[in-house]
A and B are shown apart, each in its own frame.
Chain A
């Protein structure tokens, strides 16, 4: 089905065929009507022929008589005719004839009389004709014109059995012969051609718009013309045609030509009809029937305009200061009341109303100004400006109360924020001071443990205990240092000096610094760096501290004999630095939790380190406007740092 409806050749053929079948249908229909008209279904063929021949002979006879009366010769001798004739005068005297008693088909007799009035002023001829059977008397005119001459001719015509001249009798004979023999077939033709026309039309409607290369119906050039314009064109054409025919008719044309002309017009009309309806079908299929109309476009733009105007009005209304809104409403109200007042006759009531307005309006505006102040204050406070205060002078008592409440809210909030900042600062300071106080005794412990280790101790167990003391005191030292750093990093008490940093170099430096540590832990480093230098805006020392912590973690917690992947990528204006390694101990803690202070993989709790490394790293990355993400996938431990790329790639060497 699809193939049939998309084949262009088939469609063109169908279009030609439908034109032809329509023409044939039209011919069949016209033929049937014509045959009905001449009685082909009522009478025999002979009767109809005889009927036609009689009327033919009569009209020929009149012209013969006329010609004889005018010129004295009825028929130029030697001229071929389809009839024999005889003209005689009123007394039966034969004037002219070519009939010699041959065989004939139909014989008619008629009489033609001419009356010529002759008066001194004028003369004119009148003629009367009578049928053979009509034995009417010549009527004497009521008005006496005086003297007149009467000439009377008797005409007899015999149609020949064999027609020799191809005139209209001959044509009728031939056409009628054929038509009569087909008079019942005509119905069959009408049915067959009519039905095939209908089928072809349906096919054309179905296939309209379908193309080989497209799944959905497509529009051609005609279909793109706005539908209302397109319709207007066709209806105008139809209207014009009807007007032309009803005005003038086709009386100026001989019947046969008129019929042919009408036939052509009908076929052309049909083609136009098809063009219109096929386009209609395509439009319905593609759903563009109403979409593609001038009217719709017009309404669409009108609608858009109205919408734009409306949204403009609402925008203005929503952005207008409160006081302006109040003024506009008041103006409208006052105008309305004034208009109302003008139409009331009571002049006293009107002036009272006007007076009231003069007192009322300033009050409302005064209130609107106060409300606007409050609104502004609320906005500022909600935006975070906690130092904003409403000026409460000249405010009415109830609104003043509200303004004071707003002020105390912002005051309270700013105090709370201050408190928080203060407590955060205090916490950091406390940790720093406490750590100083811890460091002094710790120094002594470490030193004396060291001194003790240098003593010549004989007791093996005592040496083992010293070993533990040494390890734990060093761990305590690291913990204290890390604690200070963690509290500073998380409270933002660290100064960050941003400068363009080339991450490629930092990674190379980090790998160089950790080469021995990794070698000792039997870890192989796989470093993937892009060709071009990747630059971010950060503080090199803090960034190194982050790398240091992460690399240290890897050296401490990675499964020995595995590979460590360090990579640097630049994607869509962001730089991603990733550290991947295989954890030695099973990681049963989610990534987020690993970054919480003092949390480490459970089974690695006994090893050295404070557990603050990741927390410090994250705080430092965040201080440098970066993001640290931690992914734990089975034993795969992955840390990704992402920073915004620094735009200028050139670095001072």
Chain B
């Protein structure tokens, strides 16, 4: 049984999240401020925390810096603060993900799953021996022989073109590749204005491997330059 702690001063939100996550088979613990959350952590074995930032008594930022002293469990921030600076602060202080309010319940569920997969199972996947035809970046794995793609061990169906594009990114993790560059390497011919095709295919790949394609974590858009595959995904 996986235990999740939801910490928000808004009781209705806690209740709603409890309904969604319970349906996925998780055991839910509730807390209404940072102090309570820390108390629950003392008592129970918690595998993941969903936490608001703005709370009375003790806010999310203080709470996370306290709990990081002893725990390395995944923490997802849930906040109405949607500024880039807020997100960066949250992630730097020790959160593993940041979801802005109002959120889409389906997205929250997907992100919770993704974090748990990484925390609970992924460690074993990393131990697999590296092979010539196998590429691995973050939780993404690509087998060039069987032409298969896995995200945290889960198989993802890609078309041959999508597979080739993703392979190109896996070969150059962290590098910005321009549409022209991608077209030349994948289609092996001069683009002549066909670069927008690349953008369409990349969007399709993002829809398959990202939880929220508009805010990709793996395959990121570098606007006005190209695309890049993030090397270290949280």
Contact = CB atoms under 8 A, between A and B. Distances in A.
B224 A540 contact: yes
A541 B193 contact: no
A453 to B, nearest CB: 11
A544 B102 contact: no
A437 B203 CA distance: 34
Interface stretch (A93-101, A254-262, A501-509): A501-509
B198 A506 contact: no
Interface stretch (A343-351, A442-450, A633-641): A442-450
B225 A444 contact: no
Interface stretch (B11-19, B112-120, B138-146): B11-19
Given A436-B54, A508-B196, A515-B196, A443 B102 contact: yes
A439 B54 CA distance: 12
B200 interface: yes
Contact of B203 (A432, A445, A512): A512
A579 to B, nearest CB: 15
A508 B223 contact: no
A442 B101 CA distance: 8
A549 B142 CA distance: 35
18 contacts: A436-B80, A439-B101, A440-B13, A440-B80, A442-B101, A443-B13, A447-B17, A448-B16, A451-B16, A501-B224, A508-B198, A511-B196, A512-B196, A512-B200, A513-B203, A515-B200, A544-B221, A544-B224
Contacts of B179: 505, 508-509
Given A440-B10, A440-B101, A653 B200 contact: no
Contacts of A501: 223-225
* Interface size of A as a range: 35 or more
A448 B12 contact: yes
Contacts of A447: 12-13, 16-17, 20, 102, 105
Indicate the member of B199, B223, B226 with the most A CB atoms within 10 Å: B223
Contacts of A436: 54, 80-81
A511 B181 contact: no
Interface of A: 432, 435-437, 439-440, 442-448, 450-451, 477, 481, 484, 501-503, 505-506, 508-513, 515-516, 527, 529, 538, 540-541, 543-544, 651, 653
Interface of B: 10, 12-13, 16-17, 19-20, 54, 80-83, 101-103, 105, 176, 178-181, 193, 195-200, 202-203, 221-226
Contacts of A510: 199
Nearest to A435: B80
Nearest to B177: A653
Contacts of A506: 223-224
B13 A444 contact: yes
Given A444-B13, A447-B16, A451-B16, A477 B102 contact: yes
The 3 A-B pairs of least Cβ separation, nearest first, read A512-B199, A501-B224, A540-B223
Contact of B102 (A442, A505, A512): A442
B198 A512 contact: yes
- Most B CB atoms within 10 A — which of A450, A484, A505, A516? A505
